[in-house]
Amino acid sequence: MRRAKGGFSKEADGEEETPELVPISVPEKEPELVPA
Protein backbone atom coordinates (compact mmCIF):
# COMPACT_ATOMS: atom_id res chain seq x y z
CA MET A 1 0.00 0.00 0.00
CA ARG A 2 1.32 3.42 -0.89
CA ARG A 3 0.41 6.59 0.89
CA ALA A 4 -1.51 9.33 -0.81
CA LYS A 5 0.61 12.20 -1.99
CA GLY A 6 1.30 14.56 0.85
CA GLY A 7 -0.39 12.35 3.39
CA PHE A 8 0.69 9.86 5.98
CA SER A 9 -0.49 6.36 6.59
CA LYS A 10 0.71 4.22 9.42
CA GLU A 11 0.06 1.14 7.33
CA ALA A 12 1.80 2.44 4.23
CA ASP A 13 4.75 4.10 5.88
CA GLY A 14 5.14 1.54 8.61
CA GLU A 15 7.01 1.77 11.84
CA GLU A 16 8.95 -0.60 14.02
CA GLU A 17 10.30 -0.58 17.52
CA THR A 18 13.96 -1.58 17.46
CA PRO A 19 16.34 -2.02 20.40
CA GLU A 20 17.54 1.06 22.24
CA LEU A 21 21.00 2.03 21.14
CA VAL A 22 23.87 1.63 23.52
CA PRO A 23 27.15 3.40 22.77
CA ILE A 24 29.28 1.16 20.63
CA SER A 25 32.95 1.17 19.98
CA VAL A 26 33.69 1.19 16.27
CA PRO A 27 37.20 0.27 15.22
CA GLU A 28 39.00 2.99 13.36
CA LYS A 29 40.15 1.58 10.06
CA GLU A 30 41.96 3.04 7.15
CA PRO A 31 40.07 2.60 3.88
CA GLU A 32 42.70 0.29 2.46
CA LEU A 33 42.06 -2.18 5.29
CA VAL A 34 38.38 -2.58 4.54
CA PRO A 35 37.63 -5.62 2.41
CA ALA A 36 35.46 -5.44 -0.68
The contact pattern for other proteins, residues 1-36, with x = CB under 8 A and - = no contact, is: -------xxx--xxxxxxxxxxxxxxxxxxx--xxx
The residues, any chain, with a CB within 8 Å of residue 1's CB and separated by 6 or more, are 9, 11, 12
- Rounded CA separation 18/20 (Å): 7
Shortest distance, position 12 Cβ to other proteins, whole Å: 9
CB of 19 to other proteins, least distance (A): 6
Binding site for other proteins (CB under 8 A): 8-10, 13-31, 34-36
